[in-house]
Structure 1
């Protein structure tokens, strides 16, 4: 209550009406609404900008060769930013987008996807702080389209990942290797601190459950929920295994200053894999166990399965 909301379209995403995605004509010329949008933004305490994709751009047979903001959206975003940097960018899209400029300059981004009939209420609750978000990305967002396909559970390249004393190492010459936002990423109106994961012991017998626990503390000012994620890596399997595999997660809710210990138990169901014949099995060897807030921000401990 007490808020004054002023709306300006800025620029339509498409020109005209359409029924099929192949008929979409993206607006690259009509800037007639820019002036009003800039004026509104200049006088606003906070600007909420809704950008993204047309609903017909998502679904089967609707692939894209570019993942940027189509039409005049990026130009409009930068024009508004030039007069007011207090922007909350609300994205409505059906796939990960490449947003390097927004990632560097926009202070708050809400990934709303293409939701259903109650999406307006849900987004408003997030924007007004009536609900503290706890969602996590189900896929990685690339920095540039040339990184695609990009996903957290890839296989090792066989090359070193840093340039120290290495002529040939796994990297791009014009961009970082890492995604813009990794699998499992998601922020909250509060913050969480992770303690060091603690294994019950360093060596386990085959068939014995692997027990691990970690302490999570709400270090912010608001109550919030966090999705604690557990990944593993099998270092010496006879079949190449991913560098990380999500094997468990727990959602916990903490009051400001509260600490909770989260426990995981890994069995054969999490430690094994299927071979080329479709046979499931668990092999002895060295395993890394990672716990963190997303696939990239984790802490590692190791154990031996014998």
Structure 2
């Protein structure tokens, strides 16, 4: 769940909802590219998954075609760039309903071996379809099916609720239906960063510091590592993922052991629904003898909490987590200062600075 402004999800009973997009009824694309042992057209589609919920008045429409020819693992996927048949029908229906679910993205055969892209937008006419529907009914839930991070900057600015669905396999439609209807509270976190623009790629959270750090005291100075037309940060960072409830982090504490640290933090479910949260621990070795990343994931833990329930999460950092390999393949664990960061994503963290000092425990 990338965002859920105004609580567009879960879908409420007795609503009229139009489900629009070229992937709504697709039973093949959700299987993805690497499906050698799989059978074509065996995935549960989004339409099949949602149709079981009779309390909602559903309408399912393709909107536009995504591909122009049958797809195949060893052949190029031909994308529809010209046939706009279906857009007017989708717009007309969107005017009539309470809410719209758009199911857009890449075909499963657009990812994988020999399927690189220079653009990270929605292929074909899908962006045009999305904007046309948004113009008449902005109450949209966007389901994104893709095998890579796409540029969702327009959607992030205009669409209140966005779910990154990837290509989930045979039970795709059932899994998404449970999320959409609130039978399952989403808890997934992103395994990669999503860019604001294709020009940011490659983009990753664990980069190394540059020789020209941010000029916080004078941001108008140009001589620091940045873009003149875009932020440096990811649109959705590594580890990001929302829930139908809310969580807060408090009381981050770090204590020394003989060779590392014990880290504790209090996690509280501050919402009104039970949910799972993945607490993430990151470090930065400030004093290392060679350059280290500005942030490295060193631990994570998933916990289910009821509303108003709290839990103390504990991580233990040892030589295994605090060390690094040099260019000759030698493993080093060094004393010095570390940033210890814990939170719900690589960006939303609490931080303390701690010093590792090797202790002689010989009696």
> TM-score, normalized by length of structure 2?
0.81
Contact 1:163 1:169 in 2 (8 A): no
Aligned partner of 2:243 in structure 1 is 188
Q: State the superposition RMSD in angstroms.
A: 1.3
Match of 2:297 among 246, 271, 276: 246
User: How far apart in 1 are the matches of 2:90 and 2:215?
Assistant: 45
Partner in structure 2 of residue 68 of structure 1: 121
Q: Deviations over 1:179-206 (max 9, x none)?
A: 1100000000001011131112xxx46x
Q: Could you say if the C-alpha distance between residues 279 and 25 of structure 1 is closer, same or farther in structure 2, counting changes exceeding 3 Å?
A: same
Equivalenced residues, count: 302
- Aligned mate of 2:151, from 98, 102, 110: 98
- C-alpha displacement of 1:175: 0.5
Q: 2:84 aligns with which of 24, 31, 47?
A: 31
Q: 2:110 aligns with which of 57, 71, 76?
A: 57
Change (3 A) 1:79 1:21: farther
2:331 equivalent in structure 1: 280
Whole-angstrom CA distance in 1 between matches of 2:72 and 2:187: 35
* Matched residue SS, 1:229: strand
1:113 corresponds in structure 2 to 166
Q: Name the CA distance, whole Å, in 2 between partners of 1:194 and 1:262.
A: 10
Q: How does 1:156-167 map to 2 (within 5 A)?
A: 156-162=209-215, 164-165=217-218, 166-167=221-222
SS at match of 2:116: coil
Contact 1:227/1:252 (<8 A) preserved: yes
- CA distance in structure 1 between the aligned counterparts of 2:222 and 2:116, rounded to whole angstroms: 37
User: After TM superposition, where is structure 1 displaced by more than 4 Å over at least 4 residues in a row?
Assistant: none
Find the aligned partners of 1:179 and 1:79 in 2 and give their Cα distance: 27
Among candidates 351, 358, 363, match of residue 300 of structure 1: 351
- Check conservation: 2:260, 2:356, Cα contact below 8 A: no
Q: Which runs of 5+ in 1 are unaligned?
A: none
Shift in Å, 1:162: 3.3
| 3-state DSSP of counterpart to 2:259 | coil
Q: CA deviation at 1:276?
A: 1.7
1:197 match: secondary structure: strand
> Is the CA contact 2:285–2:292 (under 8 Å) kept in the aligned structure 1?
yes
Q: Is the 8 A contact 1:162 1:170 kept in 2?
A: no
SS of match in other structure, 1:130? coil
**Hey, what does 1:7 align to over in structure 2?**
60
Separation (CA, whole Å) in 2 of partners of 1:121 and 1:237: 48
Aligned pairs for 1:136-175 (under 5 A) are 136-162=189-215, 164-165=217-218, 166-175=221-230
- Partner-residue secondary structure (3-state), 2:136: coil
TM-score, length-scaled by structure 1: 0.95
Assess, with a 3 A threshold, how the Cα gap between structure 1 residues 41 and 167 changes in structure 2: closer, same or farther. Answer: closer
Say whether the 8 Å CA contact 2:206–2:294 is kept in structure 1: yes
Match of 1:260 in 2: 311
Higher relative CO (Cα under 8 Å, sequence separation at least 6) belongs to 2
Distance 1:167 1:18 in 2: 48
